[in-house]
Amino acid sequence: MSQDSQLDGRVPAATRPSQPVRHLNQIELSRRWNLSARTLERWRWLGQGPQYLKIGGRCVYRLDDVEAYEAQQLRTGTAIAAGGLSHASRG
């Protein structure tokens, strides 16, 4: 790394990631999921929801973490998850 790039804080092209990491703030994520930003605040307080970063007092969510969390929430049906038949179909 050249001394000039060390002084001005630039990262040499060879060490930069090929794809920039995308982050969503609390408002962007609440819009993506159509829920209240306060719900995301509560989830963070409870240790629920996707992983987040706290940078300079701001909470941001990496898009990769958001998509991984979404994949974990994927369900095929409620009857199987509830352990059998629904109440309406029991005889």
The predicted-structure confidence for 29-77, as pLDDT tens digits, reads as follows 999 999 999 999 999 999 999 999 999 999 999 999 999 999 999 998 8
**Topology of domain 19-72, per CATH?**
Arc Repressor Mutant, subunit A (1.10.10)
CB 35 within 8 A of CB 1: no
This prediction's pTM: 0.63
Q: In the chain, what are the domain boundaries?
A: 19-72
pLDDT of residue 88: 58
Sheet holding 53-55, edge to edge: 23-25, 58-62, 53-55
